[in-house]
Amino acid sequence: MMATMNMIQALNSAMDVMLARDPDVLVFGEDVGFFGGVFRATEGLQKKHGLERCFDTPIAEGGLIGVAVGMGAYGLRPVVEIQFADYIYPAYDQIVSEVARLRYRSAGQFTAPMTIRAPYGGGIFGGQTHSQSPEALFTHVAGLKVVIPSNPHDAKGLLISAIEDDDPVIFLEPKRIYNGPFDGHHDRPISPWAKHPASAVPEDYYTVAIGEAAILRAGEQVTILAYGTMVHVVLAAVEESGLDAEVLDLRTIWPVDIDAIVASVRKTGRCVIVHEATRTSGFGAELTALIQERCFYHLEAPIERVAGWDTPYPHAFEWEYFPGPDRVAAALRRTVDAHG
Amino acid sequence: MTATQRPTVAKATPARQASRPNALSLRIPEPRARPGEMLDFGNLRLSRGSAVERPAIDVQAHEIRDLAYGLIRVLDDDGQAVGPWAPALDTQSLRDGLRWMMLTRAYDERMYRAQRQGKTSFYMKCAGEEAVAVAQALALAPDDMCFPTYRQQGLLIARGYPLVEMMNQVLSNALDPLKGRQLPVLYSSRDYGVFTISGNLGTQFIQAVGWAMASAYKHDRRIAAAWIGDGSTAEGDFHHALTFASVYRAPVVLNVVNNQWAISSFHGIAGGGDSPFASRAIGYGLPALRVDGNDFLAVHAATAWAVERARANLGATLIEHVTYRAEGHSTSDDPSQYRPAGEAAGWPLGDPVARLSAHLVAIGEWSADRHEALRKELLETVRAAGKEAEAVGTLSTGSRPSVRTMFEDVYKDAPWHIREQRQQLGV
Ligand SMILES: Cc1ncc(C[n+]2csc(CCOP(=O)(O)OP(=O)(O)O)c2C)c(N)n1
Ligand SMILES: [Mg+2]
């Protein structure tokens, strides 16, 4: 049975399905239980599945990831919510030193198969502490997988895959598009997910594989790599520029779908990478390096990065900071016009 | 304590202070004695064994706050077991405990020498603290899950983990169960209920609480136990553990091993001077026991109380073991640089091996000759295991684990980039 869902409903449905299928799945975090989470992603789960399956934790991110490690070692599959990705840093030691390395350092005796969900990204006037995109802090850590969906269908299928994965998954949710796709034109009316084909979501169990990018638009002139909210900004920019661009939604940023990237860039010879995170040492830098290692002799233009500026996320300058469609279109234009 | 001022430590600028009467001044805690000064154990808060009551296991935490400030002791100066905490341990268990403590000590001495001989990079002894791990292993069920630090090797030894396996890990040879990935002494054995030991202090304290929560969620009967050093109680993880253990009534025994030192900083730097570490539990509504950590019987009794309470679903207990790190922190430091040379020998709570041995002698179950015979036997046991492990290899000679395995277990299945990097190394 299909239903029309926004991102929140799709994520909720994924946890609902997994709580029902697997008694070893537990869902917890700050305000996650009775209230259902500040973004309502766990709404109704406690009522339906019971107090012990979906509950509130103390406000101690290091503590709640720490207990998830112990639960994972016991054999459970915790799905934990960090209320905002901006608040994941108190847990960074547990994630980097423990979660990511348990399997390796114990030679496979102990593992921590957990899913760490966190709303991330800007576009909501959240200021410095509700807008960050810290994905590169996790792609840099050996042993973690990092997943970022861009629509309801993928969100549910990827979250189920993450919960079933035997390795820890950092699952970053672009909060700006929880309720509807956002093309970056903040001055225009928002269209709800219901008008988007990816809001058609199976009500039951299904998966979207981790590690596979999606080609959202085939094209010949330039490859665009994006994920999360930026996928929608990029599609708008392509539409408006009239260019024949190929758009890849990475969906899993680590381990990234290298074959899909290489095939596309070798075909187009040009590449623009778009993310909200700050530019320097951002994930775009890794993508740029991978592409030049593998596609150098196919490139006809410098690889461009469109990213957040290297400043903290400023409250009043949301739209100057946010890499919107105009900045993306300008980069596309430069890349397509470049001649060696 | 002598009033002599240490020439090396500059005192607070008296001139400025004098010019500003009633001005604030900053306290930097200092131990009561530094090298060359007289020993001073005046702040130990000792109490007589018989003076500390033993409450029922279902007592309310707030009814026994005094226990956080007292000291549970069983063995008196004559080696007799006295007072309400004297456990009903049969003599065979006591002799087993003595054997495992002595085996741990003999093992430590051999591995310490192995490091000095260049056979491994690093080693940490638990000399003087053997009672903590060994008596606790005896009080826990064999399948209870332990989250130790690097200083509870006695847990593995008391649970019968093969010495050769431990040595293979310390030497990082071809049979190292952890495939050469871990620093020596950071053991891991799922089969023996010992969690992979982290090099990051404190992280496992909260993980043990999670394991215990999982056990409770699954209606299991197993409980968890965790250990942390006095210095590491200052880490957030310690406080997270107390919060979560209290909130979710987790079946876990939380142990602070107060061996007085954290490398070169004394327990007062972790805040142990004004209030004992056990007292931390009070604010969290958890029962606290402060115990003579060099008294095998007292450690066993306190642990058994906490184990029974946890297994009855009454939740966690915090136990502070007052003990003394009789030797250096590790092979990398020289304790004579920061504490008086005679401090270990003068430690008022004595040596756990000598005290348990004296008790067995006092009750007619042991003798000096048997003690010496056992010491020699264990020396031989350790020597034989050492020969076997070293024949396989050491960090500097012989066979190592296959380099190819370096790329395994980062993920369950190696993604493309790991496979590619393995090929780049040519393995
Ligand atoms: C998070 C972290 N900080 C610092 C260190 C370095 N370090 C290793 S052992 C140690 C002292 C620990 O003292 P304590 O907790 O009292 O344990 P003990 O060694 O006395 O058993 C320090 C500072 C570390 N391993 N991890
Ligand atoms: Mg210490």
Q: Locate tokens 């952890």: which residue? A: B178
Q: How far apart are CA A97 and CA A76, in angstroms?
A: 20
Residue of B201, B228, B261, B343 to mutate, ligand 1, most atoms within 8 A of C-beta: B201
| Predicted confidence band of residue B7 (pLDDT cuts 50, 70, 90) | very low
Among A26, A102, A106, select the one facing B178 at the smallest CB separation.
A106
- In sequence order, the 6+-apart residues with CB closer than 8 A to the CB of B90 are none
Indicate which atom in ligand 1 lies nearest the CA of residue A93. 1
Looking at the domain assignment, is residue B273 inside a domain?
no
| Rounded Cα gap, residues A208 and B263, in angstroms | 50
Low-confidence ranges of chain A (pLDDT < 70): 340
Provide the pLDDT confidence category of residue B6 given band limits of 50, 70 and 90: very low
At residue B17, does pLDDT exceed 80? no
Q: Is residue B178 part of a domain?
A: yes
DSSP-based three-state secondary structure for B320: strand
Looking at the domain assignment, is residue B20 inside a domain?
Answer: no
**Would you place residue B2 in the very low, low, confident or very high pLDDT band (cuts 50, 70, 90)?**
very low
Please judge whether A103 and B409 are an interchain contact, meaning their C-beta atoms are less than 8 angstroms apart. Answer: yes
Residues 6+ apart with CB under 8 A from B139: B299, B300, B303, B304, B307
Q: Which value, to the nearest 10 degrees, does the dihedral of the CA atoms of residues B306, B309, B314, B318 take?
A: -10
What CA–CA distances, in Å, run from B267 to B68, B256, B264, B319, B349?
A: 16, 12, 10, 16, 17
In Å, how far are B142, B315, B427 from B1, measured between CA atoms? 46, 42, 62
Whether B263 lines ligand 1, by a CB cut-off of 6 Å, is yes
- ipTM above 0.95 for this complex: yes
Q: Contact, A307 vs A284, CB < 8 A?
A: yes
pLDDT digits (tens, 9 = 90+) for B152-198: 999 999 999 999 999 999 999 999 999 999 999 999 999 999 999 99
**Residue whose C-alpha is closest to residue A29's, from A98, A97, A88:** A88
Helix (H, G, I), strand (E, B) or coil at A324: coil
Strand pairing category for A222-226 and A77-81: unpaired
> Cis omega before residue A255 (within 30°)?
yes
Q: How far is CA B187 from CA B166, B178, B198, B364, in A?
A: 7, 8, 9, 37
Distance in angstroms (rounded) separating the CA atoms of residues B175 and B181: 12
Q: Is B182 inside a domain boundary? A: yes
Q: What is the pLDDT of residues B121-159, one digit of tens each?
A: 999 999 999 999 999 999 999 999 999 999 999 999 999
Compute the distance between CA of residue B374 and CA of residue B353 in angstroms, rounded to an integer. 12
Check whether B66 has a pLDDT greater than 80.
Answer: yes
Q: Give the model's pLDDT for residue B5.
A: 43
Write out chain B residues lying below 8 Å of A73, CB-based. Answer: 145, 195, 207, 210-211
CB under 8 Å to A67, separation ≥6 — which residues?
Answer: A57, A78, B206, B207, B209, B210, B213, B244
Q: Which pLDDT score is estimated for B1?
A: 33
B330 contact A CB<8A: no
Please judge whether B410 and A104 are an interchain contact, meaning their C-beta atoms are less than 8 angstroms apart.
yes
Please, which residues have CB within 8 angstroms of residue A179's CB and are 6 or more apart in sequence? A6, A7, A8, A190, A192, A193
pLDDT at B3 over 70: no
Nearest to B142 by CA among B158, B153, B162: B158
Tell me the average pLDDT across B15-39.
88
What tens digit of pLDDT does each residue of A258-291 get?
999 999 999 999 999 999 999 999 999 999 999 9
Are the beta carbons of B141 and B108 closer than 8 angstroms? no
- B-chain CB neighbours of A102 within 8 Å are 196
The alpha carbon of A101 and the centre of ligand 1 are apart by a number of angstroms equal to 19
Instruction: Give chain A's length.
Output: 340
CATH code (residue B298) = 3.40.50.970
Which residue's CA is minimally distant from atom 19 of ligand 1?
B262
Calpha distance B180→A105 (Å, rounded) = 9
| Residue B269 within a domain | no
The residues pairing with A118 across neighbouring beta strands, listed in sequence order, are A172
Percent of the residues in chain B that have a pLDDT greater than 70, as a whole number? 95
pLDDT at B48 over 70: no
Q: HSE, CB side, 13 Å, CA atoms: give it for residue B65.
A: 8
Give the residue numbers spanning the domain of B128.
55-261+281-336+351-396
| Cα–Cα distance measured from residue B299 to residue B290, given in angstroms and rounded to the nearest whole number | 10
Atom of ligand 1 nearest to the CA of B150: 21
pLDDT confidence of residue B49: 61
CA distance B82 to chain A (A): 38
The pLDDT tens digits of the residues spanning B242-277 come to: 999 999 999 999 999 999 999 999 999 999 999 999
> Is B22 inside any structural domain?
no
Q: Average pLDDT for residues B201-220, to the nearest whole number?
A: 98
Structure tokens, B78 = 């004559």
Domain-located, residue B183: yes
B189 CA to centre of own chain: 17
Note which residues in 262-321 of chain A have CB less than 8 A from chain B.
none
Angle at A53 between CA A50 and CA A55, to 5 degrees: 90
Number of structural domains, chain B? 1
DSSP state of B401: P
Instruction: Indicate which atom in ligand 1 lies nearest the CA of residue B258.
Output: 16
**Cα gap A325→A329, rounded to integer Å:** 6
Cβ of B272 closer than 6 Å to ligand 1, yes or no, is no
**Largest CA-CA distance found in chain A, in angstroms, rounded:** 63
What is the C-alpha end-to-end distance of chain B, expressed in Å? 62
Phi, psi of B163 (to 5 degrees): -55, -40
Interface of B with A in 249-288 (CB under 8 A): none
Chain B residues with beta carbon closer than 8 angstroms to that of A255:
415-417
The predicted structure's pLDDT at residue A108:
98
Choosing from B155, B232, B259, B329 the residue with most ligand 1 atoms within 8 A of its CB, the one to mutate for a pocket test is B232
Is residue B177 situated within a structural domain?
A: yes
Q: Quote the CA–CA distance of A59 and A61 in Å, as a whole number.
A: 6
What's the pTM value of the predicted model, to 2 decimals?
Answer: 0.96
Q: Output the pLDDT for position B4.
A: 40
Å from CA of A228 to ligand 2 middle? 47
The pLDDT of residue B45 is 78
Sorted by sequence, the CB contacts under 8 Å of residue B21 that are 6+ apart come out as none
Query: Torsion over CA of B258, B260, B263 and B266, rounded to 10 degrees?
Result: 130
Catalytic sites of A, residue numbers:
130
